[in-house]
Structures are given as structure tokens and as C-alpha cells.
Amino acid sequence: MTIDEFIKYLKIEKNYSKYTIMNYELDINDFISFCNEEKINIYKINYNEVKKYLIKLYDKKYKASTISRKISSLRMYYKFLYNNKFVDKNIFKYISLPKKEKRLPKYMTNTDIDEIFNIPNIKTPIGQRNRLILELLYSTGIRVSELCNIKINDINFGEKSIRILGKGSKERIVLYGKPCEEILEKYIEDGRKVLLNGKNNEYLIVGTNKGNRSFSTRSVELIIDDIIKKAALNKNVTPHTLRHTFATHLLNEGCDILIVKELLGHSSLDTTGIYTHVSNERLRKVYLNSHPRAKKD
């Protein structure tokens, strides 16, 4: 059985995103290359051979999260092979994942946000688009891939909400406020029309000469990089940093974690829970204002 059949399964039956499928393909091809080098039959692989592969991953100094992803990819692949009777058992089902690294998400301060938002020149079409990119990422907490796939008809201008198609094709509604509304309307009425130059495109974020295609995630990353350089922030900021900032700022202001979970599109509360570790300032304020032995005068 070729890997192409598995990829087809991920696309059609599991409905995974292009990015997720790409990672599966890379992980499985990496494992197949190892098996070919070691003259291992992937359909008759044993525990010691799997252990040899894991040792190779650790020797390469991969992060625990990367090794976990690779094992998970192979677990899914071998489950597929088992269900289609190409292997006798899913050997990766019995392989434990490495202990997760406790890494706190990086986020930006309110001052950082103000500085980068002032960089795009909203008198120009590209400046309007780039400012909107910042506003949407920070105001809604959406992923960069979700941003690029927003279509005009996904937006409810009256309710200031956007229908988002997230991971696993799960739909959710995100909200935006007045600042985002202002630049959104300006961009649609002005900058977007100039960038399209008479062409049709159903997507909200557009570039020049794109036809009716979505804006690439890589293009957004480059735009963010350029803005950070111009703002002279000595920080590593990615589109995902704005998502972390969105969640952290909401929790710091007292937003219920269940609401943050829904807005982020997390399937598990455990995933959202990482943000509670960076909301200590909010906890401190609540404690000082609430506990009898800690109340401020």
C-alpha cells in the first residue's frame, strides 16, 4: 500500500487541513527513509526496530513535541494499515509519547500592540490590508490559516462576527470590535478594490495578481516580520503570537476560560489551560482585592 492512499484517506475521510496532511506526509516519509536505510520491512517491523528509530530522533536533538508528533503520525498510519489488513498489529499504539515540555506561550504587551498597529500606513491599499491582518489576528484570536481562508460572505457586518472554518472543518463564530470594524470597512471600500484591480476574488485578504485564490500563510508571516522590524521590537513575533496575546489579554481581564476555549476553537480545555499560567497578574489582583488577609486598604 502506498502512502498516497493514506493521504487520500486523510483528505477525504478525516477532512484534515493541508498543513496537517503535509506534516503527516513528512513524518511518514522520514520513517520510510529510515526503514529503507536499515533494510526494515515496514509491514513486519518489530519493537526493537521502532526503538532504533526513536533513538535516532533523540540523537538528532528533536524537541519532545516534534517526536510526539512523529509518533502520533505513525500511530495513525499504522492504524490505517491495520484496518486495511496490511499489518498484524499497530505497533505504534504501544509506544509512549515523550513527556510534554512545559513551555509558556509568548505574548505581547498592550504597548507592543499599539506600536505595531501604528506601523502600516492606512492611507495606502497595502497598509490598509496589513493593518486589517493585525486587527483580525489580535481581535479574534484566529489562526493564520483561518485568516487566509475568510471569505467576504463569511462576515456578518451587522453583528460584527465572522464564521470561521477551523481544524477538522469545525465551524465557529468569532467576534470583533469597533477598531477592527473601522479598518475592515475602509479596506473593503478602498484598498481591497485597488488591489483587485477589477478582478473577482471571494477571499477577504487579497494580494495583487492572485486571481481567485486565497492569500498564503507565508505571505502573512513575511508581513508580520516586516512590521516587527519597522517597530524595532526586540522580540520574536509570529502570527501565532497574536493568537497567544488575544487569549492572554482576555484571561487577564477576567474572561471565563470556557469562553476563551470556544473563541480559539480548541477541542479540549487542557489546550486552553496553558494560558492560565501567563495570567498571574490577573490572579494577583483578584487575590489582593478579595482575600481578608490580603485586601488593600
Cα–Cα separations (whole angstroms), residue 138 to 14, 113, 180, 236, 239 = 29, 9, 9, 16, 9
Whole-number average pLDDT of the chain: 87
Cα distance between residue 295 and residue 287, in whole Å: 8
Mean pLDDT of 267-282: 70
Residue 28: pLDDT band with limits 50, 70, 90: very high
243 is catalytic: yes
Cα distance between residue 129 and residue 203, in whole Å: 12
Residue 278: pLDDT band with limits 50, 70, 90: low
How many whole angstroms from its chain centre is CA 154? 19
Which residue ranges does the chain devote to CATH 1.10.150.130? 3-94
282 is catalytic: no
- What's phi and psi for 179, nearest 5 deg? -60, -40
**Among the options 70, 131, 243, 244, which is catalytic?**
243
State the pLDDT at residue 234. Answer: 81
How many Cβ atoms from other residues are within 10 Å of residue 201's Cβ? 19
**Among the options 167, 172, 186, 210, which is catalytic?**
167
291 is catalytic: no
Residue with cell 503570537: 241
Which residue ranges does the chain devote to CATH 1.10.443.10? 110-285
Say yes or no to pLDDT of 65 above 90.
no
State the pLDDT at residue 220. Answer: 94
* pLDDT one-digit tens code per residue, 84-124: 989 998 999 888 888 766 666 788 888 999 999 999 999 99
Q: Which residues of 93-109 are buried (b: 16+ CB within 10 A; e: fewer)?
A: eebeebeeeeeeeebbe
Q: Does domain 110-285 have CATH number 1.10.8.60?
A: no
Cα–Cα separations (whole angstroms), residue 151 to 126, 136, 213 = 18, 13, 11
Give percent above pLDDT 90 in the chain.
Answer: 53
Say yes or no to pLDDT of 297 above 60.
no
**Among the options 78, 176, 187, 275, which is catalytic?**
275
Residue with cell 457586518: 157
* pLDDT one-digit tens code per residue, 166-204: 877 788 999 999 999 999 999 999 999 999 988 889 999
Cα distance between residue 119 and residue 237, in whole Å: 15
Q: Are 212 and 201 in contact (CB under 8 A)?
A: yes
Give percent above pLDDT 70 in the chain.
Answer: 92
State the pLDDT at residue 283. Answer: 66
Residue 100 C-alpha cell reads as: 510534554
Mean pLDDT of 194-222: 86
Mean pLDDT of 46-60: 91
Residue with cell 508581513: 223
**Among the options 70, 129, 131, 143, which is catalytic?**
143
275 is catalytic: yes
Quick check: pTM over 0.85? no
Mean pLDDT of 264-286: 71
167 is catalytic: yes
**Among the options 131, 192, 266, 282, which is catalytic?**
266
CATH number for domain 3-94, candidates 3.40.190.100, 2.120.10.80, 1.10.150.130, 1.10.3720.10: 1.10.150.130
266 is catalytic: yes
